[in-house]
Amino acid sequence: MDKVSQEIILIIGITVSLLVVGIGIISLFIAYRNKQTKLIQEKKILEATFQQQLLQTQLEIQEQTFNIISREIHDNVGQILSLAKVQLNIIDQSETLNKTLLADAKDSVSKAMTDLRDIAKSLNTERIQLSSLTEITANELQRINRAGLIFTSINTEGKEQNMQEQKKLIIFRIIQESLQNILKHSKAKNIDILFCYGTEHLTIKIQDNGTGFAKELLTKKDGLGLQNIINRAALIGGKADITSMINEGTTITITSPYA
């Protein structure tokens, strides 16, 4: 083989090698672009899901608040004003002024006004944004305590940390939903909530001493409320663990980063 032929073969070999390398680089670039495009699409879907869940959470919180307010006006304020009306009727029908009964009627009206002011404050959505999670959770537990059927407690460990408003809303809704499940199904006498503020994560433990349930319920249709708690925690980069034993109660542990 002469020198010219060798040079031609060498050139062809180099050309083929360059083409193979070029095709490889182009393939890697296309794969990278496709992966980036897929990641962007997944991110957009996740963001859209988060925003949809956030809106649903806000609506649910409002609905729950209105339901609570309706019950409080009917059960508390309504009864107090009815008592005040009876007291005033007795005073009106008496020939002499009963100052003690008049003072009781004034106290009843004053208490009704105080309850109405508290209800008006709870209607303000800024209350959730301006208050800490422990504060708004304590308010929820106070409402439960007023019924006198369940004793509740709340405790805090560590220094309270600031949290993104959107995450705070979703976590508060998870707490609300957990409390609703306890009130509806557990027949518990005690509810204990513990806030543990770590350096990077907030851990919330919601524990009751109710009837509990079998772990199979988590995968059944009846356990959709529990699954909703798990899904919402995952949506904000957190985690929800639910453990329960028949006749020994249930513990819901929520862990979430602050940012």
Sheet of strand 151-157, all strands in order from the earlier edge strand to the far edge: 151-157, 190-197, 201-208, 249-257, 239-245
In a domain, 184, yes or no: yes
In a domain, 59, yes or no: no
pLDDT recorded at residue 253: 96
C-alpha gyration radius of the chain: 31
In a domain, 158, yes or no: yes
Strand extents, DSSP E, 87-182: 151-157
For 168, the token pair is 């705070």
- Count of CB atoms within 10 A of residue 73's CB? 15
Q: For the chain, which ranges sit under pLDDT 50?
A: none
Between CA 244 and CA 137 the distance in angstroms is 22
In a domain, 219, yes or no: yes
pLDDT digits (tens, 9 = 90+) for 45-82: 666 676 777 666 666 666 666 666 666 666 566 666 77
Global pTM value: 0.60
Domain span holding position 218 = 149-259
In a domain, 222, yes or no: yes
| Rounded-to-10 torsion of CA 80, 82, 88, 91 | -100
pLDDT recorded at residue 193: 97
pLDDT recorded at residue 136: 85
In a domain, 57, yes or no: no
pLDDT digits (tens, 9 = 90+) for 193-209: 999 999 989 999 999 99
In a domain, 25, yes or no: no
Domain holding 242: CATH number?
A: 3.30.565.10
Number of domains in the chain: 1
In a domain, 3, yes or no: no
Between CA 146 and CA 123 the distance in angstroms is 19
